[in-house]
Amino acid sequence: MAQRLGEKLLEHDSVDIVCGAGQIADIPQLVKKAINNKSLRGPKGRGNLEDSERARLLRSARNDSIKENAFVQITESIRQTDPENPALEDFESVYDRSDKDIPGQAFVRVMRGCDNFCTYCIVPYVRGPEISRPVDKIIEQVKRLADDGVKLITLLGQAVNKYQYVGDKTYTLAGLLYKVSEINGIEWIRFVTSYPQKEGFKELMQAMRDLPKVCNYLHIPAQSGSDSVLKAMNRHYDSGEYLELLRQAREIVPDIDIAGDFIVGFPGETEHDLEETAELIKQARYKNCFVFKYSPRPGTTSDNRLEDNVPLEVKKQRNYRLLEVQEKISGELAQGFLSKKVKVLVEGLSKKPHLNSDEHQGNPQLIARTAGDWIVVFNGPVSLAGGFANVKITKASPLTLFGELIK
């Protein structure tokens, strides 16, 4: 929003700083400048200023260079973003740290921006072109996280499988996975989100198969099962090509867990289009999928060129229908875990405990996840948080597996 609206946000009295994603590293400097400006204005902030003085400050903000501006810090031409941004790189390396609320896990951004230009998506216009971070910087960061006790690293990118860095040699995401897998202390590696494309897909699945640390999990949004809707979305594949990628994935990694995303109610979507999407979900057999109701994003192609002509109530109904299809599949897959022993990474206390701790030596209910991202709840000591445990599954629902700790 900051990158898209820029100085327009300053019209809100409560806003002192507008900072785009590409300038996050400048926030400390901007805050200092804003504090200095506040001190000059008096204890009541902007309300203490005469209208003419406020107008002068706004004009000053607009006329200052981006580097010196204490009010607005955005990239003037986001698609011309400097790929070598040392300030942002330093920020990424230092502040993408482990999440203390979920011990043992951390997210590491490996690339920024997007070049796909899906018609419903604002990301290419506000995050800029695809820029892959240097391999050595990523490895250095992951090593530091491993020293902090992190066990699971999730590599992030808008289309993470398009990662490509050219240094002493060219690294793809598959090559990066090999490098990260060499780091002692890191036991699990995931990556999200993957864009459906043939290029590099086979090599990526082979890396998943060959590297024990890489979790057998793939999040690969389809967005629709209708070829006409996919074309309107400017997705660069059809439903047949998408399902072929899933077939390849399962052929190379037989026990892979796959998740997907869908948008319902895209402009022009018909009942027939929805039925095609439901059929794709049945064939894909995801462990789970996320379904979103289409809502136009200002500045996107679909907002500019297409009428949002599917009523909200229809969108809600279609959302429910797809989730109903998926729930049945998730339930069937979940039943396959009954009586099995699974390795899980424990996140901590379950927010909605419904297992009786009195029957488990007073141990509270914990929440954990398998390598394939299945949610598992069981009773155990809180000290397990941030570490691995073995659990025997005793009950299964479409969204949650229930189990007993194997001591």
pLDDT in tens, 72-92: 888 888 887 777 677 788 887
| Alpha helical stretches, state H, 42-115 | 51-63, 86-95
Say what the pLDDT of residue 104 is.
94
Whole-number percent of the chain with pLDDT over 90:
73
Q: Which amino acid is at 176?
A: L
- What is the chain's Cα-based Rg? 24
Distance CA 135, CA 91 (A): 16
CA distances from 235 to 161, 223, 290, 344 (A): 15, 9, 18, 35
Q: What letter would DSSP give residue 98? A: B
Q: Which amino acid type is present at position 267?
A: P
Q: What values do phi and psi take at 30, rounded to 5?
A: -65, -40
- Looking from the CA of 10 toward its CB, the CA atoms found within 13 Å total 22
What is the reported pLDDT for 63? 46
Q: Which uninterrupted H or E stretch holds 292?
A: strand 288-293
What is the model's pTM? 0.88
pLDDT for res 359: 61
For residue 51, the model assigns a pLDDT of 52
DSSP assignment letter at 337? T
Give the pLDDT of residue 89. 83
User: How many angstroms separate the CA atoms of 170 and 392, rounded?
Assistant: 43
- Say how far apart CA 209 and CA 178 lie, in whole Å: 12
CA–CA dist 212, 207 (Å, integer): 9
State the Cα–Cα distance between residues 290 and 261, nearest whole angstrom.
5
Given a cut of 50, the residues of the chain with pLDDT beneath it are: 44-49, 59, 61-69
Q: How far apart are CA 165 and CA 168, in angstroms?
A: 9
The whole-number pLDDT of residue 11 equals 87
| Preceding peptide of 193 cis, ω within 30° | yes
| Residues 389/393/395/396 CA torsion (nearest 10 deg) | 90
pLDDT of residue 357: 54
300: left (phi over 0), alpha (psi -120 to 50) or beta: beta
Torsion angle of C-alpha atoms 262, 268, 270, 273, degrees rounded to 10: -40
Looking at residue 75, its pLDDT comes to 87
Q: Name the helix (H) or strand (E) containing 387.
A: none
Residue 132 CA to residue 134 CA, distance in Å, equals: 7
